[in-house]
Amino acid sequence: SPSDLLSQFKHAGPRTRTHVRAAELLDTTVELIREMDMDELLHATGCSAELRPPLCQTDCLSNRYRTIGGECNNRQHPLWGAANTAYTRWLSPQYQDGRAVPRGWDLQYGYHNFTLPPVRAVSQQILYTQNEDISLDSSLSHLLVEWGQWIDHDLVLTPQTPSKAAFHTGVDCTHTCSRDTPCFPIQIPSSDPRASAQSCMPFFRSAPSCQVLPLCHREQLNAITSFVDASMVYGSTGPLASALRNHSSPFGLLAHNLLHSDQGLAYMPYLPRQPSRPDPCGPLVTSTTLPPCGHLGDSRANEHLGMIALHTLFLREHNRLAQELHLLNPHWSPETLYQEARKILGAVHQVLTWDHYLPRVLGQKAHLELLPPYQSYQPDTDPSVANAFATAAFRFAHVTVHPVVNRLDPGYRPSSHHPDLPLHLSLFASWRVVQEGGIDPVLRGLLLYPAKLQTPGQMMVEELTERLFQAQGGLPLDLGALNLQRGRDHGLPGYSAWRRLCDLSVPATVTELAGMLGSAKLAQKLLHLYGTPHNIDLWVGAISEPPLPGGRVGPLLSCLLGKQFRALRDGDRFWWEREEVFTGAQRAELQRVSLSRIICDNTGLGHVPLDPFAHTAHAGDMVPCSHPRIPSLNLSAWRDDIIMFDVMSGYQFGGRVWLPRVTVGSLNETLNRDCLTLKQSDIHQPCDSDVDECAQEAPPCPVKAQCVNTPGSYTCTGKDTAVLPRHRRHSIRYKASLCSRQHNQIVLLTLCPSIPSLLPVCVSQR
């Protein structure tokens, strides 16, 4: 059923399910036993373990690569931005009972002397737009819309409760119109065209978080990392990240489909078939026994053809990066290749989102004001996604979705073999990619066709309000009503409170509201439903505002989006512009990143637009992939400079730049580690000065050897230094670091496992 499908793409992993089970026990128990000691409840339900902060490492790897689950990004607050933590709040929630009951739970409950309208009535009277009655955006391609959802899936996944029955009565939530947590069904008004077929639409409350204290109200859970880190490619838990890798490859690759390919290019691997769960991704009538749902880092990967195309594209891009890095650095281990490719791909997503996507959404002026140039990492900034952003603000693009999925041939013409599809026929249809031409026709359609233009009378197409999941059978859902009900479930305050948060004027009359929305008709409709501007649900109020110059969102959404994306940037210890994350040469290359280039490198497309987010009016305006304004990412900036040195004698490399003395541990220990970190305090002397090691209290050479000082190092002479006995090789302590006047804090050593002997040892400067 459509309700089952909604559960399918909100499917939580084992780690999230453990948290949710504990949180549901706690939430329900708190309702029943208000006076019981909270510490006892936390322990008895399992929530105390879920809230315990992790122990953060401080070694080289933890400084170089972010964790899969996002924990320890901030060392003082290790759970900030981590997966399976609560959304943050910019305003306190307004639950009906002050603790957990959603707004609008009691249909007669008054807010500012008015009851809240049924969300389905708001969808019908404000949002509903016939598929044929839309205007097209002359400036933006539909790929911009797709990118917004793609990044949303990097930031936000709100699992719904896994419980299917009401806690108090045991009734199945899919077959009841009674409100009993977790059932929060959507009413169908008597005037609704659907009223003859159904009296309500199933809706399950979002899963709670264990984070009840000290807040004492219900919070919802973000099952994935808050950071823009390409988690939809790699996953947000260790087991999932491991399951997505090709462990038999020496190149650090992600796993791909072994049964089918796209003219030699990879498809995403299939999910293992689960007999207890029906497969929603295949055609309704098929003889195939293959499980066509794809297995990638986000459970929503199969939601529709555009999302499947982007998942496939970036699976290929990771593997392309990893293989190129191997050619540059054949001594790198599979783990290093995987982590470096993952690190680059995460940075690519940050550049494309902040520098290419957000200016078009916010408008150039608002973009510069809300997101001024990056200065530095701010450890006191919480990068966690806010509840209002996840539940309302970043759902703005739902009203820019086109009702048709266009598929085009290599000449960017309508394809006779793979014709255009109504949007609802592309949902959970990953089988179409394999059987109907791969991802190239879909990408051409996204590049050439424009986004839908939002106007006060053209909000959300009927494909989304009347036909959501219709192709899979059962009564379809309504995305607009789901958005509004979700906001009430999460206790989001009304429209006026958010205007006040952003220092914007608050409307009190229909005239003032009409002035803000630029439409007297829309203002009248909203007040007819809500009675007062204060009660308007955040999402519908925010999307109703006319866009700022050059952008596609109004003042309130600009404020909320800017606030969130600035926190995501400044509170991320691994932000790509931070000097400690990439070298200057690497940052210069990353600035040249182009989504068109990524498409060229990983598909059969030979012609693309210079700006894939801009609407290209004619297919003839596409340029060849060899165009100089679509540069390739030059990975030579990631090549290691290999330096050989003898662990006993040290090594001087050129002029006044040499190896200072730093003790880093036993050779045996070092060979089993990927890298070592040396602090500035470990460097005994600046790079352009020398120290006489032989004059120290404990000379570094063996007892029978003579120590001879050399510029930047020392030499041990004598018979004990020529050949080291095999039994002594694993106990040698060596002194090595790389230092230059330009990089006085160079810290990374990478040992080359390809060298069979322990002498000489290979180190690399990063």
User: Nearest CA to 206 among 474, 16, 398?
Assistant: 16
Tokens of 522: 């829309």
Radius of gyration of the chain (CA): 29
The predicted pLDDT at position 726 comes to 30
- With a CB cutoff of 8 Å and minimum separation 6, the contacts of 446 are 141, 142, 143, 146, 306, 309, 406
Tokens of 156: 């936000």
- Domain chopping of the chain, boundaries: 1-159+206-271+281-491+551-639, 495-536, 643-765
Average pLDDT over residues 619-646: 84
Asked if pLDDT for residue 750 goes beyond 70, the answer is no
- Residue 534 designated active-site: no
- Going by the DSSP 8-state scheme, the letter that residue 24 receives in this structure is H
The predicted pLDDT at position 366 comes to 97
pLDDT tens, 303-333? Answer: 999 999 999 999 999 999 999 999 999 999 9
> Rounded to whole angstroms, how far apart are CA atoms 342 and 579?
18
Average pLDDT over residues 590-605: 97
CA 403 vs. chain centroid, Å, equals 26
Quickly list DSSP for 213-238: TTTTS--BEE-S-SSSS-HHHH-SSH
Tell me which H or E stretch contains 708.
Answer: strand 706-710
pLDDT tens, 222-257? Answer: 999 999 999 999 999 999 999 999 999 999 999 999
- With a CB cutoff of 8 Å and minimum separation 6, the contacts of 726 are none
pLDDT higher at 671 or 118? 118
SS3 588: helix
Residue labelled with tokens 């179409």: 432
Asked if pLDDT for residue 295 goes beyond 60, the answer is yes
> Rounded to whole angstroms, how far apart are CA atoms 162 and 742?
55
pLDDT tens, 370-414? Answer: 999 999 999 999 999 999 999 999 999 999 999 999 999 999 999
Q: Is residue 273 exposed (0-12), middle (13-18) or buried (19+ Cβ within 10 Å)?
A: exposed
Q: Is residue 105 exposed (0-12), middle (13-18) or buried (19+ Cβ within 10 Å)?
A: middle
> Rounded to whole angstroms, how far apart are CA atoms 555 and 558?
5
447 backbone φψ class: left, alpha, beta (φ>0; ψ -120 to 50): alpha
Q: Which spans in 376-429 are helix H? A: 387-391
Asked if pLDDT for residue 100 goes beyond 90, the answer is yes
The predicted pLDDT at position 382 comes to 98
Pick the CATH number of 1-159+206-271+281-491+551-639 from 3.30.70.580, 2.60.40.10, 1.10.640.10, 2.40.420.20: 1.10.640.10
Query: In which band, very low, low, confident or very high, does the pLDDT at 665 lie, cut at 50, 70 and 90?
Result: very low
The predicted pLDDT at position 475 comes to 84
Average pLDDT over residues 21-46: 74
> Rounded to whole angstroms, how far apart are CA atoms 304 and 401?
12
The predicted pLDDT at position 758 comes to 30
pLDDT tens, 49-84? Answer: 888 899 999 888 899 999 999 999 999 999 999 999
pLDDT higher at 731 or 299? 299
Percent above pLDDT 70 for the chain: 80
> Rounded to whole angstroms, how far apart are CA atoms 517 and 456?
8
The predicted pLDDT at position 654 comes to 32
> Rounded to whole angstroms, how far apart are CA atoms 555 and 551?
10
Percent above pLDDT 90 for the chain: 65
398 among annotated binding-site residues = yes
Query: In which band, very low, low, confident or very high, does the pLDDT at 274 lie, cut at 50, 70 and 90?
Result: low
Query: In which band, very low, low, confident or very high, does the pLDDT at 459 lie, cut at 50, 70 and 90?
Result: very high
Please list the residues that pair with 204 across neighbouring strands. Answer: 183
pLDDT tens, 126-142? Answer: 999 999 999 999 999 99
Tokens of 660: 């200072």
Tell me which of 153, 326, 402, 534 is the catalytic residue. Answer: 153
Asked if pLDDT for residue 470 goes beyond 60, the answer is yes
Q: Are 291 and 271 in contact (CB under 8 A)?
A: yes
What is the overall mean pLDDT for the chain? Answer: 84
